[in-house]
Structure formats: C-alpha cells, structure tokens
C-alpha cells in the first residue's frame, strides 16, 4: 500500500514475551490501549488486538510447536494523526497509523507459502492468516536474516464517515473498548467445570 510512513529504526514501544499463551491477553491489551490513545475507533482497536493475537498464536503453535519458552518481540511504531498538515490524497487530514512488527526465532518458512485457507470448507483451524489479512491494511511475512520470521502489519485509522458501528461499546456494559467488562461474574449454578483457570 503506497503512502505509508517509513518504519523508524527503533520502535516507540517493544514488548518481549515468551511463547506462552498466558501472555496473549497482555499483548492484546497493550496494543489495544495504544491504538485507542492514537485515536483509532473501538472497532479498529478490536481488530488490531485480534490480528496481533492471531499472529502470536501462530508463532506459538506453528513456529515454536507449542513450546512455552520461545522468544517473541512485538515492536510498535505509532504515528499520531496530523490534522494540521497537508491533506492526504483524498483531501482529508492525515490519519493515525500503527505499524506492528512481530519477530521470533522460530522455524523459518517460505513467506510465499503463508496463505489464508479457503473458507468454503467449514472446518476448525487455519483462520489466523485470513483474519490478519482481513482486518489489517498491510500484512508482510519475511524471513529474518539469521533465524526466525518477521511479520509487519499496519493499519490506518478509518475516516469518521467510514466508521459504521461501535461493537465494543454496548448498552449497559462498562467496556473500555479493549475488552474489559465490568467485573461481575454471574452467580448461576456451577458445574464440574466451574472454577478459575
């Protein structure tokens, strides 16, 4: 996609985590909170968090074979909106952008072979890449120079007129847009599977 800001040599934020699914929620909340501060609408914040989650899950599942100790770096490159600068190609103000680079030291694969599967067949699994490509404006897989893979994803905040709905803000739910609801657990009957994880 043309018109992207160049990714600086150093990120504004970098998260290092091990390939343990327990840490996915923390990564989601960080990315969602940053996107919200940049001015992304609730839907876009949700989408960005989902894309990061799917990317990390794929690294954990396929790259590291579910090993919980593999290193993963999530680097964030925010570009705030610039309402007072030269308008973009469509005459509107320059909108906020968020670039996310996720790197690992896992098994390398041919980037051209990383494709979302066909959705005609309904079966569990294989949706992660499709979801990333649907919700982000750019998705690029690369081999790192020595070991592992690098995934670059970017998203530009939509124009106000393109924001169709606000799925994260529902009547009666104290949702801050990043998935945290008011802290109320139902007091209904508990079965054999009840209990904290």
Which residues would be at the binding site for another protein (CB under 8 A)?
Answer: 21-22, 24-25, 28, 43, 46-47, 49-50, 53-54, 57, 60-61, 119, 122-125, 127-128, 130-131, 134-135, 165, 167-168, 170, 173, 175, 179-181, 185-186, 188-197
CA–CA distance, 186 with 89 (Å, rounded to integer)? 50
CA–CA distance, 109 with 149 (Å, rounded to integer)? 8
* Identity of the residue, 7 or 131, whose beta carbon is nearer to another protein in the bound complex: 131
Contact 179, 49 (CB under 8 A): yes
* Identity of the residue, 88 or 175, whose beta carbon is nearer to another protein in the bound complex: 175
| Shortest spacing between CB 195 and another protein, in angstroms | 6
Q: Name the residue among 17, 97, 7 with its Cα closest to residue 57.
A: 17
CA–CA distance, 166 with 44 (Å, rounded to integer)? 9
CA–CA distance, 43 with 46 (Å, rounded to integer)? 5
| Shortest spacing between CB 104 and another protein, in angstroms | 15
| Shortest spacing between CB 124 and another protein, in angstroms | 4
Q: Alpha carbon 166 to chain centroid distance?
A: 18
* 3 state DSSP class of 156: strand
* Identity of the residue, 42 or 97, whose beta carbon is nearer to another protein in the bound complex: 42
Edge-to-edge strand order for the sheet containing 13-18?
Answer: 13-18, 71-79, 97-104, 149-156, 138-143
| Shortest spacing between CB 174 and another protein, in angstroms | 11
| Shortest spacing between CB 67 and another protein, in angstroms | 14
| Shortest spacing between CB 136 and another protein, in angstroms | 12
* Identity of the residue, 134 or 142, whose beta carbon is nearer to another protein in the bound complex: 134
Contact 44, 35 (CB under 8 A): yes
* Identity of the residue, 90 or 123, whose beta carbon is nearer to another protein in the bound complex: 123
CA–CA distance, 100 with 7 (Å, rounded to integer)? 9
* Identity of the residue, 54 or 97, whose beta carbon is nearer to another protein in the bound complex: 54
């Amino acid at each position: 996609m043309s018109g992207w800001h160049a990714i600086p040599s150093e990120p504004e934020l970098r998260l290092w985590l091990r390939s343990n699914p327990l840490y996915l929620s923390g990564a989601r909340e960080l990315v969602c909170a940053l996107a919200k501060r940049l001015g992304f609408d609730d839907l876009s914040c949700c989408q960005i968090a989902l894309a990061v989650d799917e990317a990390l899950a794929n690294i954990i599942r396929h790259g590291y074979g579910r090993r919980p100790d593999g290193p993963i770096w999530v680097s964030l490159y925010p570009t705030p909106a610039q309402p007072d600068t030269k308008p973009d190609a469509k005459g509107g103000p320059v909108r906020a952008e968020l670039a996310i680079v996720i790197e690992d030291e896992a098994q390398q694969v041919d980037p051209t072979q990383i494709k979302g599967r066909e959705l005609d067949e309904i079966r569990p699994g294989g949706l992660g890449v499709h979801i990333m490509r649907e919700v982000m404006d750019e998705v690029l897989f690369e081999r790192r120079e020595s070991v592992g893979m690098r995934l670059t994803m970017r998203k530009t905040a939509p124009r106000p007129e393109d924001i169709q709905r606000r799925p994260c803000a529902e009547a009666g739910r104290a949702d801050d847009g990043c998935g945290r609801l008011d802290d109320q657990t139902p007091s209904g009957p508990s079965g054999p599977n009840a209990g904290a994880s």
